[in-house]
Amino acid sequence: MTIDLSELKGLFFEEASEHLGTMETTLLALEHQPDDRELLNQVFRAAHSIKGGSGTFGFDDLRRLTHALEGLLHLLRDGVVSLTPTLADLLLRSTDVLGAVIVSTRQGEPPPEAIELVLAEIERATPKGAEAEGAEQEEAASTEIPWPSPAEPAVRRTFRVVFAPGPNLFRQGMDPLLVVRDLAELGEPLEVVVDTSALPDLDELDPETCYLAWSMTLATERSEADIRDVFAFVEDSSRIEVTVLDPPGEPESDPAPASDDMSQPVAKEPPAHAAGSAQAVPALLGGGKHPLAASASTVRVDTEKLDRLIDLVGELVIAQSMVTSAMNDVRTAGADERLRDAVLAMDRNTKELQDRVMAVRMVPIGSVFNRFPRMVRDLGASLGKRSALVVTGDDVELDKGMVEKIADPLTHLVRNAVDHGIESPAERRAAGKPEEGTISIVAVHQGGGVVIEVRDDGRGLPTQRILDKARKLGLVAPDAEPTIEEIHALIFAAGFSTKDEVSDVSGRGVGMDVVKRNVEALNGSIAFTSDPGKGSRMRIRLPLTMAIIDGLTLRVGAQVFVLPLIEVVESLRPTRSQYQTVLGRGEVIRLRDQAIPLLRLHQALGVPDAEIDPCRALVCIVETPTTPVGLLVDEILGQAQVVVKTLETNFRRVEGVMGATILGDGRVALILDAQAIARKASVAGHEKEAVHDADQRVA
């Protein structure tokens, strides 16, 4: 057997980055809950995992730093040092340096100089006399290799592990369930049995005394030392037994029944109910199929392979759509019922296959949100502000590519919220607000897409100042009186900033236009609202994925177009009384006391022979950052999922068009970018008004 070392190293770096993320998130939580031992355990385990892999691959700088961190965390755990704000800062800065060392190691470059500085700081933070213990731990830990050694290919073995927590474990702040979970994560748990024999009657049960014990049969490539390491923080007060059931090199044996050689007090429950054999459990717990009933193991797949698979499914969707369309034509001529049923079944299966493949690329948006607690903390400190971050909906899933691309725009919005939005503690006090400001990030599913909001309870946007600045820059005519929404939309103009001084954080006049461009590149939209003195809200709407979207197929003249369904609020055929022409604002549709500008798609797209009477055509209302806009179309043909093909790859980018697709009847249809079309029409309208105004002045 040969091992591809570069692949293993790649895997190590990926996991090291994940562990680093865990360390940072957990350290931030630990700052607020310094007595939470489980949080401390998590940081320790993450550092330890990185150290183990580093040692295996000979990444000495990484090993040195993680070892030093681990020593400090040991002292924290043992109460030798306390988690002061200074120490929390040092630990967080150490994770920053650790991240930089991971990157430099991956790229084969020398480590950043900061590694020596931070190592020196860790040494200073370590009380004299405590190093000896740390050195002993180093000895012990150096034999623990959680990564398969390239010299000695990993061997899968089966262990029997008994864990009988001491009665006082709960009082020490430990949860044995989490220890058992960590153990299970080391490999494949073939059998997990909870021993309840010591459990007294309900009336006599002391809720703070632990009566349970566990036994697990675990198949793993990890060493016995790795297994024992899981119990590092509970071993003093618990009974731990680790037995190898099959020696290395021999075929795996079936796990022995739990009662065979189990030492007391474990193994009184009936055996053979491990994680892998829990199919019967979901029906009782949840009343139906549960996603976790399947194996909890994961496989890392190169995203390129996934993309190719998705392309292929896209082609299958198109082919299926063609078959269905042809079938509909044949059916009218009297087709065989069996053929019709077969096509319907294939249609269902294709749809399910598509959904499942798309789901593979879905990741929780929390992976982006994770960076913000640290950012808000550090920025607030550097600006002398106090702000808390509240995150909701971090489990909302989006396409992996979208999650990666939305990270920078969101980062910019959060930075802006701290820098521009939240006031200083003195200002907030004077305004009758709590000294600590709140920034909220909320993600929710809405209408087949995802809405992400970044809100703050700060000073809000200075509307008059924006207007003054916009007039100065010539973005608004001196005598124009834009609406509040139009003024808010000005912050997305290129180079616009109301901040007089440039700070390290923001206020350079670049950013919001880039944020908007980036969001729109994802076929999303961004809107801004603000309440002076009370705060601001940025609202981003995104489709779930860019590969396949739900769309409305529309006819304009003889052309068929697709409009992303996420953009469409409603559609209607206006009555004569609803259709009006407003001086200076052009054609509008009156809907529930609102005048919605009407945009004739046939004019915007240059399509001949379209219906020109709005009351005989249809209007699709779409949201834009400033106002809803009605798009005039001849007919709505239906709703369909369409595979998005980019024009840039095969042709070039076209303003107002986000891509093309192949319809079921084989025709190619352009997918419209309603936001861009509305923007373009608005600009053209303003230019026309400006020329008209100039003409009037000349006359």
Partner 1 sequence: MSAEVADTHTSNVLALDGAVDVSAARRIREAARSCANSEGDVTVACAGLERLDAAGVQVLLALKKRLEGAGRAMHIDDVPERVFGLLLVTGAGHALVSTTLPAPVEATSAEGES
Catalog residues that contact partner 1 under the rule CB under 8 A. Answer: 165, 170-171, 175-178, 180-181, 184, 189, 192-194, 196, 199-203, 205, 207-208, 210-212, 214, 216, 269-270, 273-275, 278, 280-287, 290-293, 296
Least separation in angstroms between residue 273's CB and partner 1 is 4
Nearer to partner 1 among residue 52 and residue 165 (C-beta): 165
Q: Which helix (H) or strand (E) holds 339?
A: helix 337-360
Maximal CA-CA distance, the chain = 104
The DSSP output letter for 613 is: -
Nearer to partner 1 among residue 275 and residue 633 (C-beta): 275
Q: What angle do CA 280, 286, 289 make, to 5 degrees?
A: 60
Least separation in angstroms between residue 293's CB and partner 1 is 7
Q: Is 439 helix (H, G, I), strand (E, B) or coil?
A: strand
Structure tokens belonging to residue 383? 């600006």
**Contact present, 70 and 48 (Cβ < 8 Å):** yes
Nearer to partner 1 among residue 81 and residue 278 (C-beta): 278
Nearer to partner 1 among residue 268 and residue 340 (C-beta): 268
**Radius of gyration, alpha carbons of the chain:** 31
Least separation in angstroms between residue 82's CB and partner 1 is 23
Nearer to partner 1 among residue 228 and residue 290 (C-beta): 290
Least separation in angstroms between residue 205's CB and partner 1 is 5
Nearest to 540 by CA among 415, 680, 406: 406
The residue assigned the tokens 């400001």 is 437
Q: Which helix (H) or strand (E) holds 437?
A: strand 437-446
Q: Is 687 helix (H, G, I), strand (E, B) or coil?
A: helix
Nearer to partner 1 among residue 284 and residue 333 (C-beta): 284
Nearer to partner 1 among residue 176 and residue 614 (C-beta): 176
336 by Cβ neighbours in 10 Å (0-12 / 13-18 / 19+) ranks as exposed
Cα–Cα distance for residue pair 57/12, rounded to 1 Å: 9
Least separation in angstroms between residue 167's CB and partner 1 is 12
Distance (Å) of CA 586 to CA 568, 596, 600 = 22, 10, 11
Q: Is 301 helix (H, G, I), strand (E, B) or coil?
A: coil
Contacts of 364 (CB under 8 A, 6+ apart): 394, 395, 396, 397
Least separation in angstroms between residue 575's CB and partner 1 is 47
Q: Which helix (H) or strand (E) holds 596?
A: strand 594-600
**Contact present, 513 and 603 (Cβ < 8 Å):** no
Counting Cα atoms < 13 Å in the Cβ hemisphere of 615 gives: 7
Nearer to partner 1 among residue 184 and residue 549 (C-beta): 184
Virtual CA dihedral for 315, 317, 318, 324, nearest 10 degrees? 150
Nearer to partner 1 among residue 273 and residue 331 (C-beta): 273
Least separation in angstroms between residue 215's CB and partner 1 is 9
Nearer to partner 1 among residue 165 and residue 458 (C-beta): 165
**Contact present, 358 and 310 (Cβ < 8 Å):** yes
Cα–Cα distance for residue pair 605/607, rounded to 1 Å: 6
Least separation in angstroms between residue 180's CB and partner 1 is 4
Which residue type is seen at 229?
D
Nearer to partner 1 among residue 177 and residue 668 (C-beta): 177
Least separation in angstroms between residue 263's CB and partner 1 is 17
Least separation in angstroms between residue 86's CB and partner 1 is 30
Are β-strands 559-564 and 668-672 bridged in parallel, bridged antiparallel, or unpaired? parallel
